[in-house]
Amino acid sequence: MDRQPHLEGERLILRPLRESDWDGLFAVASDPQIWAMHPMHDRWQEPVFRAFFADALAKGGALAVIEKSSGEIVGSSRFQGHDNADGGSVEIGWTFLARRLWGAGYNAEMKRLMLAHALRFVRRVEFHVGEGNIISRKAMEHIGGGLTDQTDTVATPRGPVVHVIYEIGREDFACGPLSTA
C-alpha cells in the first residue's frame, strides 16, 4: 500500500508532506483552538509542533491537505501502522484541519479519499482517538466509524493517554457511510 498517495476530491488535494510545507502547515497548526480537546493540547506551540512535524516526515505516511480553491495548505493527516496480517489494516490519524473548514464536510471528504485509497489494499481502517476528544469522536461517528471495545494507551511527556479505537471495514465503506454534510 502506498502510504503517501496523491488523492484529489471535489475541494481537497492530498499529497505527500514535504519539509517545505513547514511554514504553511504551522500557520494552520498554531491556532490553539485546534488542539483544545486533543490530548496534546499544546501542539500549537512551535517546539511541540516541530517535533510532531519531524515525526511525520521521519515515519512517512504523512499527507498535506490542500484546499483546491485557494491552493493553501489547510491541514494534515497520516496513514500509519500498516499491517498485512488478517486481511490487512492501517491507521488513519494525526489529522487536523484549519478551523474555518470545520463543520463544512472537509473532514468527511478527506477521510473518504483516504478510506477509498486504503480499503483497496486492506480489510479495515482504524482510528485512534483521545478518549476525551469529544470533537474527534463525534467526527468519527459522523463518518461512520464504529467504536470498538479496544483501547490503546500511549505514553506521552504528560503521562499516559488513553485512545479509544474506531474502525471502518471494507464492507462498511462499500455502503457509503460518509456524508458530505
> Does residue 179 lie in a domain region?
no
- The domain of 90 spans 7-173
> Does residue 2 lie in a domain region?
no
pLDDT tens column, 18-59:
999 999 999 999 999 998 877 777 899 999 999 999 999 999
> Does residue 181 lie in a domain region?
no
Parallel, antiparallel or unpaired: strands 73-83 and 62-67 = antiparallel
CATH code of the domain in which 11 resides: 3.40.630.30
Domain count, the chain: 1
Give the chain's residues under pLDDT 70.
174-181
pTM given for the model: 0.89
> Does residue 180 lie in a domain region?
no
> Does residue 24 lie in a domain region?
yes
| Phi–psi pair at 145, nearest 5 degrees | -70, 135
> Does residue 162 lie in a domain region?
yes
Rounded-to-integer distance, Cα 156 and Cα 172, Å: 33
Predicted local distance difference test score (pLDDT) of residue 179: 41
Predicted local distance difference test score (pLDDT) of residue 32: 92
178 DSSP assignment: -
> Does residue 168 lie in a domain region?
yes
> Does residue 92 lie in a domain region?
yes
> 110, 23 in Cβ contact below 8 A?
no
